[in-house]
Amino acid sequence: MVGESGAGKSVTGLAVIGLIDPPGRITGGEIRLSGLRIDHLPPEEMRRVRGRRIGMIFQDPLTSLNPLYPSRCCCTASQSATRSARWCCA
């Protein structure tokens, strides 16, 4: 997604992956991923979709990446969280 600062890219991304905080909510329309409607999935099903089929790279690297590890390790750890694997650099 591309847009100017403040255009709502992050909020839209959070809504799509089901992580928008109240009082934010989806008020209309549908969110589909490869034909599957995901905006009304139960939380456990959404957890299986999130990380394996859809995800978000957060804008603030200080809250997203661990400065004690090379960035490749942080990315691998994120992927591993959905695949029951271990940190590559631990």
Instruction: Give the model confidence (pLDDT) of 17-69 as tens digits.
Output: 888 888 888 889 999 999 999 998 998 999 889 878 887 776 666 665 566 66
C-alpha span between 22 and 77 (Å, rounded): 28
The predicted structure's pLDDT at residue 72: 65
Residue 90 has pLDDT above 60, yes or no: no
The predicted structure's pLDDT at residue 74: 59
Task: Say how many C-beta atoms besides its own lie within 10 A of residue 26's C-beta.
Answer: 13
The predicted structure's pLDDT at residue 30: 92
The predicted structure's pLDDT at residue 65: 59
The model carries a pTM of: 0.57
Of the pLDDT bands very low, low, confident and very high (cuts 50, 70, 90), residue 86 is very low
The predicted structure's pLDDT at residue 21: 83
- Specify the higher pLDDT residue, 25 or 71: 25
| 3-state SS, residue 54 | strand
Q: How far is CA 38 from the centre of its chain?
A: 13
- Tokens representing 11 are 């909020």
Pair 88, 73: CB distance under 8 Å: yes
